[in-house]
């Protein structure tokens, strides 16, 4: 076993809720107001010069605004940072061709402001683990006297001891809809397994095969999405048969659909990590999808949502990558994200890159060296080679047949597990 420091968030309830809720409300409302001021500022800049300011530019600009002093300066900074992140996220999606994505909105319901999350960084809170209390700072506008602060008595899960964590980096006050709760963001040292080996595997995430894996020693696996598509089709049909899309029945069906999808992602990430342990893999290389995912042939973004019956947004891939990272970490396996650029149009054997590669029925055919590969496996192998150049490209006589003959793992909805399908002879 080895030790590794990771970030964890622990939720705690507030025991003196009635005493602190008014104060927390004021901070939550203040965070919404500052968000709206920032939101308005960004749209002005955007209209004027077609540019989305970075959070530090936004902070520099709004520092002298009256609303900035309602919260502790670090808390105000965090509100503007979240806003800038939300804007850049939306802009990224827009560039990806996601026309349904909306820019972040104003935080207002009529004349009411919702209670936004308030984040306290190092200088904005003081933790007393002996008495389970935390002191949260207000901004100068909301202080009644100079040392005015909010003293919360918290109750955390019995197995969490905040005095033993490496350090508590942030405290967040979060409104659950009924009451306030606290989230402690901590650095924690955990025991992880020794890395299972030195080998690498490339993972290409996509819409037909949710994941294609190319292992360094020359074999490949596919995880098709068809089971999830069937599942989605079934639920979409039942939901559309409901009289009212807001009805209790429709809500229940939607929840069930989303639970099953979450289960699929958990099971798949766990299964892939397990396969990596078996294969002695120490590094999983994943294509980074957070950037521009353009269809390199015509410069247009792929539209994930319109494929078949599956309504799969790019956030699903991010979520899956997070799960994979988390589960791999526990096994001592690193997940590296690399740019996906050119990984679908280059030949993973000879490296030849062409503007219009031949992809027919999911097969990649190279004019130069004659390699025939499963297109997704070819992509996965290119992704893997970004971290570890392969002996396959050294001009040696290693067989490339494995690129065209992946093992296919199917999700069994009955058992909830992945099992290999009998190899198809083609
Ligand atoms: Zn080639």
Q: Do 173 and 236 belong to one domain?
A: no
Please report the pLDDT score of residue 378 as a whole number.
93
Q: Do 172 and 317 belong to one domain?
A: no
- How far is the centre of ligand 1, averaged over its atoms, from the C-alpha of 396 (Å)? 13
Please report the pLDDT score of residue 311 as a whole number.
55
Q: Do 203 and 178 belong to one domain?
A: no
- Of 192, 217, 244, the last residue of a domain is 192
Domain enclosing residue 16, as ranges: 2-192
- How far is the centre of ligand 1, averaged over its atoms, from the C-alpha of 162 (Å)? 56
3-state secondary structure the chain: CEEEEEEEEEEEEECCHHHHHHHHHHHHHHHHHHHHHHHHHHHHHHHHHCCCCCHHHHHHHHCCCHHHHHCCHHHHHHHHHHHHHHHHHHHHHHHCCCCCCCCCCCCCECCECCCCCEEECHHHEEEECCCCEEEEECCHHHCCCCCCEEEEEEEECCCCCCCCCCEEEEEEEEECCCCEEEEEEEEEEEEECCCCCCEEEEEEECCCEEEEEEECCCEEEEEECHHHHHHHHHHHHHHHCCCCCCCHHHHHHHHHHHHHHHHHHHHHHHHHHHHHHHCCEEEEEEEECCCCCEECCCCEECCHHHCCCCCCCHHHHHHHHHHHHHHHHHCCCEEEEEECCCCCCECCCCCCECCCCEEECCEEECCCCCCEEEHHHHHHHHHHHCCCCCHHHCCCCCCCHHHCCCEEEEEECCCCEEEECCCCCC
- Total structural domains within the chain: 2
Please report the pLDDT score of residue 352 as a whole number.
84
- Of 129, 164, 192, the last residue of a domain is 192
Please report the pLDDT score of residue 355 as a whole number.
60
- How far is the centre of ligand 1, averaged over its atoms, from the C-alpha of 199 (Å)? 23
- How far is the centre of ligand 1, averaged over its atoms, from the C-alpha of 115 (Å)? 57
Largest CA distance in the chain: 79
- How far is the centre of ligand 1, averaged over its atoms, from the C-alpha of 372 (Å)? 9
Q: Do 411 and 286 belong to one domain?
A: yes
- How far is the centre of ligand 1, averaged over its atoms, from the C-alpha of 391 (Å)? 14
Q: Which tokens is 186 given? A: 């901590």
Please report the pLDDT score of residue 116 as a whole number.
93
- Of 192, 225, 245, the last residue of a domain is 192
* pLDDT in single tens digits along all 426 residues of the chain: 677 788 888 889 999 999 999 999 999 999 999 999 999 999 999 888 888 898 899 999 999 999 999 999 999 999 999 999 888 888 877 776 667 777 888 988 777 888 999 999 999 999 999 999 999 999 999 988 888 999 999 999 888 888 887 789 999 999 988 899 999 999 888 788 888 899 999 999 887 788 999 999 899 999 988 777 788 788 888 888 887 777 888 888 888 888 888 888 899 999 999 999 999 999 999 987 644 343 333 333 344 444 444 556 566 777 888 899 989 988 989 999 888 777 888 899 888 886 655 677 788 888 888 888 999 999 999 999 999 886 544 444 457 889 999 999 988 877 878 888 865 544
Please report the pLDDT score of residue 201 as a whole number.
96
Q: Do 140 and 203 belong to one domain?
A: no
Q: Do 228 and 141 belong to one domain?
A: no
Q: Do 218 and 163 belong to one domain?
A: no
pLDDT in tens, 124-167: 999 999 999 999 999 999 988 888 999 999 999 888 888 887 78
pLDDT in tens, 173-208: 999 888 999 999 998 887 888 888 999 999 998 877
Please report the pLDDT score of residue 301 as a whole number.
36
Q: Do 282 and 176 belong to one domain?
A: no
- How far is the centre of ligand 1, averaged over its atoms, from the C-alpha of 380 (Å)? 15
Q: How far is CA 414 from the centre of its chain?
A: 28
Q: Do 208 and 156 belong to one domain?
A: no
- How far is the centre of ligand 1, averaged over its atoms, from the C-alpha of 287 (Å)? 21
Q: Do 172 and 247 belong to one domain?
A: no
Please report the pLDDT score of residue 46 as a whole number.
87
Q: Do 181 and 224 belong to one domain?
A: no
Residue 71 near residue 138 (C-beta atoms within 8 A)? yes
- How far is the centre of ligand 1, averaged over its atoms, from the C-alpha of 365 (Å)? 8
Q: Do 293 and 309 belong to one domain?
A: yes
CATH classification of the domain holding 240: 3.30.420.140
């Amino acid at each position: 076993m080895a030790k590794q420091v990771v970030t964890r968030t622990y939720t705690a309830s507030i025991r003196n809720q009635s005493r602190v809720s008014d104060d927390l409300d004021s901070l939550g409302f203040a965070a919404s107001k500052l968000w709206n001021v920032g939101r308005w500022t960004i749209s002005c800049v955007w209209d004027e010069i077609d540019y989305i300011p970075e959070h530090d530019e936004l902070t520099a600009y709004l520092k002298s605004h009256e609303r900035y002093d309602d919260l502790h300066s670090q808390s105000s900074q965090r509100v503007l940072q979240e806003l800038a992140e939300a804007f850049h996220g939306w802009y990224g999606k827009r560039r990806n061709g996601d026309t349904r994505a909306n820019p972040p909105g104003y935080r207002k319901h009529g004349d009411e402001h919702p209670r936004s999350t308030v984040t306290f960084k190092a200088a904005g809170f003081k933790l007393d683990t002996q008495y389970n209390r935390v002191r949260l700072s207000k901004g100068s506008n909301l202080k009644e006297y100079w040392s005015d602060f909010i003293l919360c008595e918290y109750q955390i899960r019995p197995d969490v001891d905040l005095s033993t964590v490496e350090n508590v980096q942030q405290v967040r006050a979060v409104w659950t809809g009924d009451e306030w709760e606290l989230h402690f963001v901590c650095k924690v040292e955990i025991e992880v397994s020794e890395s299972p080996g030195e080998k690498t595997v490339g993972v290409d995430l996509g819409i037909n095969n949710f994941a294609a894996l190319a292992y360094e020693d020359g074999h490949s696996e596919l995880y098709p999405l068809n089971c999830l598509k069937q599942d989605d089709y079934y639920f979409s049909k039942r939901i559309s048969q409901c009289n009212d899309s807001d009805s209790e029945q429709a809500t229940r069906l939607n929840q069930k659909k989303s639970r099953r999808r979450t289960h699929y992602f958990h099971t798949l990430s766990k299964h892939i990590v397990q396969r990596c342990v078996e294969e002695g893999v120490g590094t999983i290389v994943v294509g980074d999808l957070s950037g521009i995912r353009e269809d390199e042939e015509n410069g247009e973004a792929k539209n994930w949502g319109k494929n078949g019956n599956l309504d799969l947004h790019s956030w699903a891939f991010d979520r899956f990558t997070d799960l994979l990272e988390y589960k791999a970490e526990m096994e001592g396996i690193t997940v590296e994200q690399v740019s996906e650029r050119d990984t679908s149009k280059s030949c993973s054997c000879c490296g030849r890159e062409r503007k219009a590669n031949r992809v027919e029925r999911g097969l990649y055919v190279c004019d130069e060296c004659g390699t025939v590969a499963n297109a997704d496996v070819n992509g996965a192998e290119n992704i893997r080679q970004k971290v570890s150049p392969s002996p396959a490209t050294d001009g040696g006589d290693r067989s490339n047949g494995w690129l065209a003959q992946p093992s296919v793992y199917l999700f069994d909805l009955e058992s909830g597990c992945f099992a290999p399908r009998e190899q198809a002879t083609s």
